Amino acid sequence: MDYPTHMNRLIPRLASSYAFHFALQDLVKLSISQDPIVRRKTETIAAGLKSKTSWFATETIQICREACGGKGYLVENQFAALKADSDIFTTFEGDNTVLMQLVAKGVLTQFKQSLHDDNTRAVLSFIFKKLGHTISEYNPINKRNTDFYHLTSYDFIEETIHYRHEKLLMSLSDRIRKYLKRRIDTLQVMLKTQIHMVDMADAYIDDITIVQFRKALSTSVQPQLMNILTKLYQLYGLTTIYQHRGWYLENDYMDGSQSKAIRKIITKLIQDIRPYVDTLVDAFGIPDELLAAPIALQPYS
Ligand SMILES: Cc1cc2nc3c(=O)[nH]c(=O)nc-3n(C[C@H](O)[C@H](O)[C@H](O)COP(=O)(O)OP(=O)(O)OC[C@H]3O[C@@H](n4cnc5c(N)ncnc54)[C@H](O)[C@@H]3O)c2cc1C
């Protein structure tokens, strides 16, 4: 674990495991509701989280396997069996790419409904949001700010992740509206916008996940755990933003110096979290008899 490349490959994934854990816990709570609007939202989030977490699990098992070298390939160390199990989750109960289109349709329907329900206010808020996007894109101070406290703040992380979702949603609905106005057949509209739809769905689930992580920090975390869990939150948030740095740069939301500063902060957070890795993994409480793999049962500090 002390190789920087090992830390870099594994510790952000530990942070993502916590993020998905909190998002899934909230989904379980939502699933109890009988309210039809909440139920539709629950279906949308469930489809998105199923896709994101099964892709994440499959990639993570491969990365863990490689991190263990040839021993990772031994049958007794279980990676092959874990991968065979998780791999099929990306297809059954609905192929992930198909499910992400379901998520996009759900989000578009909610958006259309919100404009329909409360016409004037919703349309005004839509215009203000579009204006807000223009202001943030052309605000040179925001996009060049490399201050550590600014970049690790809840506000920066949440606004930046939310911005991607909202901008993709608005540009997608604009495109669909224009195609429909030109009387283009709905199947063709779907095909023309399919990649945009899947990207928007991905951004929506990132947005839901970061919000639930923050909510868990403010409601259910013991005060002595706040410091380390806040670092995990920052690492998850900044890694998510950094993964999409190409998009933010293309959209003029950040400049190269800010993206570079985020990369440096990610490295620092990984080092800060390193001493707590054993505890953070043990906290999932997976019993030894389920781990079973000899490599997982050896002391790993
Ligand atoms: C091990 C296993 C166990 C299963 N158990 C059950 C079971 O117990 N009960 C049951 O009912 N079913 C079961 N299934 C079936 C499973 O639910 C389906 O395989 C799954 O829903 C995906 O459907 P599909 O295989 O038809 O693939 P498809 O949905 O046809 O997907 C094939 C490929 O085409 C792409 N694709 C399809 N449609 C689109 C589109 N509109 N736009 C873009 N790309 C598209 C997908 O992304 C994917 O890459 C099982 C499958 C497996 C492999």
Which residue segments constitute the domains of the chain, with CATH numbers given?
4-297 (1.20.140.10)
Which pLDDT band, with edges at 50, 70 and 90, does 291 fall under? confident
- 163, 139 contact by CB (below 8 A): no
Structure confidence by residue, pLDDT tens digits, 127-186: 566 656 665 665 777 778 999 999 999 999 999 999 999 999 999 999 999 999 999 999
CA distance 216 to 221: 7
pLDDT at 301: 47
Which pLDDT band, with edges at 50, 70 and 90, does 126 fall under? low
Structure confidence by residue, pLDDT tens digits, 37-53: 999 999 999 999 999 99
Residue closest by Cα to atom 41 of ligand 1: 98
Q: How far is the CA of 94 from the centre of ligand 1 (A)?
A: 5
- 152 in helix, strand or coil? coil
Nearest Cα to 247, choosing from 297, 293, 203? 203
User: Mean pLDDT, to the nearest integer, of 210-221?
Assistant: 90
- 184, 143 contact by CB (below 8 A): no
Q: How far is the CA of 91 from the centre of ligand 1 (A)?
A: 6
Angle at 134 between CA 133 and CA 137, to 5 degrees: 85
**Prediction pTM value:** 0.91
Q: Is the C-beta atom of 149 inside 6 A of ligand 1? A: no
> What are the tokens at 154?
């809840």
Q: How far is the CA of 205 from the centre of ligand 1 (A)?
A: 22
User: Mean pLDDT, to the nearest integer, of 64-75?
Assistant: 92
Q: Residue 190 pLDDT > 70, yes or no?
A: yes
User: Mean pLDDT, to the nearest integer, of 263-276?
Assistant: 97
Nearest Cα to 163, choosing from 247, 50, 105, 234? 247
pLDDT at 128: 60
Residue closest by Cα to atom 21 of ligand 1: 94
User: Which of 31-40, 112-121, 241-250, 286-295 has the weakest average pLDDT?
Assistant: 112-121
3-state DSSP helix/strand/coil % of the chain, to nearest 5 = 85, 0, 15
pLDDT at 111: 86
Of 50, 51, 54, 91, which is best to mutate to test ligand 1, by the most ligand atoms within 8 angstroms of its C-beta? Answer: 91
Contacts of 120 (CB under 8 A, 6+ apart): none
Q: Residue 76 pLDDT > 70, yes or no?
A: yes
Nearest Cα to 274, choosing from 6, 7, 5, 51? 7
Q: How far is the CA of 97 from the centre of ligand 1 (A)?
A: 10
Q: What number does the ligand 1 atom closest to the CA of 95 have? A: 22
Of 87, 98, 102, which is best to mutate to test ligand 1, by the most ligand atoms within 8 angstroms of its C-beta? Answer: 98
CA distance 66 to 73: 8
User: Mean pLDDT, to the nearest integer, of 71-96?
Assistant: 92
